[in-house]
Amino acid sequence: MNLKQLQYFVRIVECGSLAKASRQLFIAQPALSQQLSKLEEEVGKTLLIRSAKGVVPTPNGAALLQHARFMLRQLEQALVIARQEPGSIQGMVSVGLASTTLCALGAPLMRRMRDKYPGIILNIVEGLSGHIAQMMRLTQLDLAILFGHDAAPDLPHESLLEEDLFLMLPQDSPLVSQRRKSIRCDEVAQLPLILPTGIHGLRRRITHEFEQRNLQMNVVAEIDSLSLLLLCVKDGMGATIKPISATMMEDRLATGMRHLPISDAHLKRPNYLFSTEHERLTPATIAVHTEIKETVKFLVNSGQWRGVQLT
């Protein structure tokens, strides 16, 4: 698949017929039809329904159309950015991040943007993932990192990384032997746990994993404030289940904290980078979108953001 094929596909759909698209693209209709066939062969699905009245996209074609438009718009804006001096790109870009993501990404992204794009005002919005997703759907944000591809299904998105979830407790906690390097689900269920409330996506993910094993968790407190939750864990009130990013912002919370993998559970959290509709993308938004990906890649590859895998 190449960009030219995507350009042809988008134009065919917008024109509603191969004949009209071939005239606008200044390419012979048989050659255009051949390019479309190659694209369908590579995708492995029929993308257009052809009739005497023209063509309309299939459900698979409609899905590809949305992402193709976004990719082409990104390319167009990327060329604009490449031709400009970084300081000449201006504007405000709103980015939604959950608290744990903010701990890992917030400050490094701010530093990177100030160094490379001083004309861009970055507006970072911290919140629960469900609230961030709603803000994206209501076009109140330009970009967001969310934890499910269906968080805002009508918006362009791409897989960013996958986080491992760990049992967290103080190094000197008597709850788990110092010799242990990992822990099982049934053992975790017996510990006093401090978790976020059920409206939090992370809590639902954890609950689902334990319910699949018919295990009842011993939840002693529910706290949606990340800093307060970690302080309570640090003070020995219980353990929690979080990605390592949760402790990256403050050394006082990270120091002396153990991160035990849960050996018999697939406790991972996927992260997706969502963008606003392609019609609303600006050079500033594209620049921030690129820098988010580059900052994440740097943090992971340099070992600063541990317990994650790039996807």
State the pLDDT confidence band at 66, using cuts at 50, 70 and 90. Answer: confident
pLDDT given at position 80: 66
Whether the per-residue pLDDT at 126 is higher than 90: the answer is yes
Whether the per-residue pLDDT at 252 is higher than 60: the answer is no
Q: For 187-229, how does the pLDDT look when each residue is reduced to its tens digit (9 = 90+)?
A: 999 999 999 998 788 898 899 999 999 999 999 999 988 889 9
Whether residue 158 is found in the same domain as residue 201: no
Q: Are 222 and 199 in contact (CB under 8 A)?
A: no
pTM, two decimals, is 0.71
SS3 content of the chain, % helix, strand, coil (to 5): 50, 20, 30
Whether the per-residue pLDDT at 89 is higher than 90: the answer is no
40, 63, 80 — which closes off a domain? Answer: 80
Whether residue 154 is found in the same domain as residue 276: yes
**169-178, Cβ contacts within 8 angstroms, sequence gap of 24 or more:** 169/233, 169/238, 169/239, 169/240, 169/257, 169/258, 169/260, 170/233, 170/234, 170/236, 170/256, 170/257, 170/258, 171/256, 171/257, 171/258, 172/256, 173/236, 173/239, 173/258, 175/239, 176/239, 176/258, 176/260
CA-based end-to-end distance of the chain:
20
Q: For all residues of the chain together, what is the average pLDDT?
A: 89
Q: Mean per-residue pLDDT for 52-60?
A: 86
State the pLDDT confidence band at 85, using cuts at 50, 70 and 90. Answer: low
Whether residue 173 is found in the same domain as residue 259: yes
Q: How far is CA 67 from the centre of its chain?
A: 16
28, 51, 80 — which closes off a domain? Answer: 80
Whether residue 176 is found in the same domain as residue 29: no
Q: For 259-309, how does the pLDDT look when each residue is reduced to its tens digit (9 = 90+)?
A: 999 999 889 999 999 998 877 788 899 899 999 999 999 999 999 999 999
Q: Mean per-residue pLDDT for 88-101?
A: 90
pLDDT given at position 1: 67
State the pLDDT confidence band at 254, using cuts at 50, 70 and 90. Answer: low
* Cα 203 from Cα 58, distance rounded (Å): 37
Whether residue 233 is found in the same domain as residue 183: yes
Whether residue 237 is found in the same domain as residue 273: no
35, 53, 80 — which closes off a domain? Answer: 80
Whether residue 35 is found in the same domain as residue 21: yes
Whether the per-residue pLDDT at 87 is higher than 80: the answer is no
Whether residue 106 is found in the same domain as residue 149: yes
Whether residue 155 is found in the same domain as residue 280: yes
Q: Into how many domains does the chain fold?
A: 3
Whether the per-residue pLDDT at 24 is higher than 80: the answer is yes
Whether residue 156 is found in the same domain as residue 276: yes
Whether residue 31 is found in the same domain as residue 111: no
State the pLDDT confidence band at 251, using cuts at 50, 70 and 90. Answer: low
Q: Mean per-residue pLDDT for 238-262?
A: 84
Q: For 129-187, how does the pLDDT look when each residue is reduced to its tens digit (9 = 90+)?
A: 888 999 999 888 999 999 988 888 889 899 999 999 999 999 999 999 999 999 999 99
Domain with residue 97: its CATH number is 3.40.190.10
Whether the per-residue pLDDT at 249 is higher than 80: the answer is no
pLDDT given at position 250: 63
Domain with residue 193: its CATH number is 3.40.190.290
Structural domain boundaries enclosing 241: 166-266
